[in-house]
Amino acid sequence: MDRTVIGEAGRISRPNLPLLLLKARESVIRPFRPIFNRYDLTEQQWRVLRLLADQTEVEQREVAEACQILGPSLAGILARLEEAGLVRRARAKADQRRVFVTLSAKGKRLIAEMAPLVDAEYQRLESALGGELMASLITVLDRLLELPAVTENGEAPT
Amino acid sequence: MDRTVIGEAGRISRPNLPLLLLKARESVIRPFRPIFNRYDLTEQQWRVLRLLADQTEVEQREVAEACQILGPSLAGILARLEEAGLVRRARAKADQRRVFVTLSAKGKRLIAEMAPLVDAEYQRLESALGGELMASLITVLDRLLELPAVTENGEAPT
DNA sequence: ATCTAATCGATAACATGTTATAGAATATCA
DNA sequence: TGATATTCTATAACATGTTATCGATTAGAT
């Protein structure tokens, strides 16, 4: 089954799944950006704060995993969030390598203020997509992520 | 219809479409990264080169649009690709604002060398997903991108 | 022809992504 | 126990993402 397709200008254009996913994500996230900007947060900072609002006492590595942010990026993000007084970091007593991250009172207030706006925008997104398309998206993406061949880290160890 | 779900540790976790798309894209692109690294290219640089291989004589703004790269990023990317001798830039005679971007001979050779590896990896991806899931993904993502409410730029003019 | 608005690319400033590496702490095992 | 490997965070170096702004150029309207 050849999915190759002739594009607008007669060029060959194979379906480009990574690019398609990039465009889809950009479309979905775009309307949220003004909200983040209004509160001087980046998209990534919001992702971290939102996680902490739901979980309380998360290890830094869990934050990285859950928010899909690499270690070196997260180090800076948390430093800035702490500098802004929104977050606190503390080394675990049991294992001095690990760091626990917590939302500060100020952070909680900020989340409480922003959450309704973000949730409302999400509602708008859901009604724009319709329940059926939304469900299809989630189902298909979950199926993709469940594939062992896709989940594997890829590079064989030396 | 409430899609709220209780996660592993009993926490509330709404479906987070942007995060889901991010994870999906990361999973899909991960196995390609070693190829890019082997040839000292970034993912974005490859995206640009591949576009130029198919099109010849593309305006810079079209590159930005097609590759989903913002102007300021693209300025640097093209400068580095030109510095590496892979690409050429030339102002359009008719409209001195516009810049045409072209693949150099060296760039064409590089693409010719890399394309088989990248294509093979894409084949592996397709067989890992299976034709059905691949088709569903493309269909659903295309439907998302066709929605006017999602395509609109969002912010109303002042 | 002129004035104004829109377009295109570049730059600045800062945040984040990516890879490699270092440092400290802990786990593993001989 | 002691040597070794592994884990977790931080830093460095560079590329890219994001927003704001500038400069040059062209398009549109008068």
The CATH number for A115's domain is 1.10.10.10
Q: Which residues of A touch B122 (CB under 8 A)?
A: 14
A158 vs B111, which has greater pLDDT? B111
The whole-chain average pLDDT of chain A stands at 90
A134 part of a folded domain: yes
pLDDT tens for A43-73 read 999 999 999 999 989 999 999 999 999 999 9
Nearest to A28 among B18, B27, B134 (CB): B18
**A98, exposed or middle or buried, with CB in 10 Å at 0-12, 13-18, 19+?**
middle
pLDDT for A147 equals: 83
Q: Which pLDDT band, with edges at 50, 70 and 90, does A13 fall under? A: low
Q: Which nucleotide is nearest to B74 (CA to C1')?
A: D16
Whether A106 is in a domain gets the answer yes
- Tell whether A127 is covered by a domain: yes
pLDDT < 70 regions, chain B: 1-14, 149, 151-158
- Give the residue-averaged pLDDT of A1-7: 55
Domain for residue A154, yes or no?
Answer: no
- The whole-angstrom separation of Cα A6 and Cα B38 is 31
Domain presence at residue A128: yes
The three-state secondary structure class of A156 is coil
Residue A58 burial (C-beta neighbours within 10 Å; 0-12, 13-18, 19+) = buried
* Residue A69 contacts strand C, CB under 7 A: yes
Q: Can you give the pLDDT at residue A9?
A: 45
Residue-wise pLDDT for A104-142, tens only, equals 999 999 999 999 999 999 999 999 999 999 999 999 999
Distance, Å, B63 CA → D28 C1': 27
What pLDDT score was predicted for residue B6?
55
**Cβ distance B147 to A129 under 8 Å?**
yes
Cα–Cα distance measured from residue A38 to residue A53, given in angstroms and rounded to the nearest whole number: 19
Go through B33-52 and write b for each residue having 16 or more CB atoms within 10 A of its CB, e for each that does not.
eebbeeeebeebbbbbbbbb
B23, B133, B147 member nearest A140 (Cβ): B133
Question: Into how many domains does chain A fold?
Answer: 1
Is the CB of residue B6 less than 8 Å away from at least one CB of chain A? Answer: no
- pLDDT at residue A7 greater than cutoff 60: no
B70 touches strand D (CB under 7 A): yes
Tell me, what's the pLDDT at A152? 60
Residue A157 touches chain B, beta carbons under 8 Å: no
Q: Nucleotides of chain D within 7 Å of a protein C-beta?
A: 7-13, 15-20, 23-27
Full domain range(s) for residue B87: 32-148
Let me know if residue A140 belongs to a domain. yes
Is the per-residue pLDDT at A20 higher than 70? yes
Q: Determine, yes or no, domain membership for A3.
A: no
CB A86 within 8 A of CB A110: yes
Mean pLDDT confidence for A36-49: 98
Note whether residue B7 is domain-resident. Answer: no
Confidence of residue A15 (pLDDT cuts 50, 70, 90): confident
Token reading at A140: 């298909």
